[in-house]
């Protein structure tokens, strides 16, 4: 199934998926995905609803582990090691490969404790001053500090949707991840909030590896370095975003990007 059109990246792969298949019972949701996630870049994953974007994103930090009837074949390696190998500590993997979901979720605690939760769990700091500094740094990186610095003790649920999503990004950053996976992080956010999140992701891309699943093709075009197009569980084409959007090589990519996909009675 390694037929996807791919172009070599200008950065080494941090995560490498090789001939990766995933089945939900009899549903063959991912069909032999060969995909490299380049270091310190933004990789966008696009494709129609049900094509396997979330399934693939979740596979990269083992979120299917406890889902019944899921079967996988092939490998996903992070930093050269198969993440499904029995020697891998899932808690550590999820610290190094963080996840931000579509619906902004706050833990039922104040802003400070939302960010401090991960560092406390992983024992990353040794004093209150260190923890304070880490909370501030994470909120600054996520572009939220100026809006919450005088209200760190207010309940996180009182933040707006866009602020909550940046809080989720700050929470992921607080445990010093190497990769951040985001599943449609702006689909429930207004345009101004979306712009703030896009700015944050672009700023982070110099230091972190980012994988962004999005239905918003303009967003992928605006901020990603590379784009992968999935269709019916297959990776059809992957390459520099500019190339994929302007000179797609597979007619199915072109159809999807120009909005013709499905218009003729297809899936």
Ligand X SMILES: Nc1ncnc2c1ncn2[C@@H]1O[C@H](COP(=O)(O)OP(=O)(O)OP(=O)(O)O)[C@@H](O)[C@H]1O
CB of 145 to ligand X, least distance (A): 31
- Of the CA atoms within 13 Å of residue 260, those in its CB half-sphere come to 6
Question: Is residue 261 a contact point for ligand X (CB under 6 A)?
Answer: no
Of 115 and 236, nearer to ligand X (C-beta) is 236
Question: Is residue 54 a contact point for Mg ion (CB under 5 A)?
Answer: yes
Among Mg ion, ligand X, none, partner that 51 touches (CB below 5 to 8 angstroms by kind): ligand X
CB of 209 to ligand X, least distance (A): 20
Rounded CA separation 200/190 (Å): 15
CB of 22 to ligand X, least distance (A): 8
Rounded CA separation 208/179 (Å): 6
Q: Exposed, middle or buried: residue 68 (CB in 10 Å: 0-12, 13-18, 19+)?
A: exposed
Q: Which of the stretches 17-25, 53-61, 83-91, 192-200 binds Mg ion when contact is defined by CB under 5 A?
A: 53-61
Among Mg ion, ligand X, none, partner that 55 touches (CB below 5 to 8 angstroms by kind): ligand X
Among Mg ion, ligand X, none, partner that 155 touches (CB below 5 to 8 angstroms by kind): none
Q: How many residues bind Mg ion (CB under 5 A)?
A: 1
Contact criterion met (CB below 8 Å) for 97 and 178: yes
Per CB under 6 A, the list member of 2, 10, 12, 27 interacting with ligand X is 27
Helix (H) or strand (E) holding 34: strand 27-38
Of 39 and 102, nearer to Mg ion (C-beta) is 102
Q: Which of 188, 108, 121, 122 is nearest to 155 (CA)?
A: 108
**Any residues with CB less than 8 A from the CB of 210 and at least 6 apart, and which?**
41, 42, 43, 179, 180, 182, 201, 204
User: Structure tokens of 209?
Assistant: 């590896």
- Of the CA atoms within 13 Å of residue 12, those in its CB half-sphere come to 5
Give the x-and-dash track for 33-72 against ligand X (CB under 6 A). Answer: --------------x-xxxxxxx-----------x-----
CB of 262 to Mg ion, least distance (A): 17
CB of 218 to ligand X, least distance (A): 16
- Of the CA atoms within 13 Å of residue 252, those in its CB half-sphere come to 17
Among ligand X, Mg ion, none, partner that 59 touches (CB below 5 to 8 angstroms by kind): none
Provide the binding-site residues for Mg ion, judged by CB under 5 A. Answer: 54
Residues near ligand X, by CB under 6 A: 24, 27, 29, 47, 49-55, 67
């Amino acid at each position: 199934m390694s037929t996807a059109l791919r172009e070599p990246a200008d950065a080494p792969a941090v995560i490498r998926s090789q001939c990766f298949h995933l089945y939900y019972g009899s549903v063959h949701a991912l069909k032999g995905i060969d995909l490299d996630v380049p270091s310190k870049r933004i990789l966008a994953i696009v494709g129609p609803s049900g094509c396997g974007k979330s399934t693939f994103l979740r596979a990269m930090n083992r979120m299917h582990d406890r889902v019944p009837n899921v079967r996988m074949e092939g490998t996903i390696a992070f930093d050269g090691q198969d993440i499904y190998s029995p020697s891998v500590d899932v808690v550590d993997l999820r610290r190094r490969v963080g996840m931000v979901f579509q619906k902004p979720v706050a833990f039922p605690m104040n802003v400070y404790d939302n960010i401090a939760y991960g560092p406390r769990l992983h024992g990353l700091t040794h004093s209150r001053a260190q923890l304070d500094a880490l909370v501030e740094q994470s909120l600054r990186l996520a572009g939220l500090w100026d809006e919450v610095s005088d209200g760190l003790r207010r309940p996180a649920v009182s933040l707006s949707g866009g602020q909550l999503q940046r809080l989720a990004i700050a929470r992921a950053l607080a445990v010093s991840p190497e990769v951040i996976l985001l599943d449609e992080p702006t689909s429930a956010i207004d345009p101004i909030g979306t712009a703030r999140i896009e700015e944050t992701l672009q700023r982070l891309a110099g230091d972190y590896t980012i994988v962004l699943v999005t239905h918003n093709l303009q967003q992928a075009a605006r901020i990603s370095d590379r784009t992968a197009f999935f269709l019916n569980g297959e990776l059809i084409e992957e390459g520099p975003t500019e190339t994929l959007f302007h000179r797609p090589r597979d007619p199915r990519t072109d159809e999807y990007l120009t909005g013709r996909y499905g218009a003729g009675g297809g899936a």
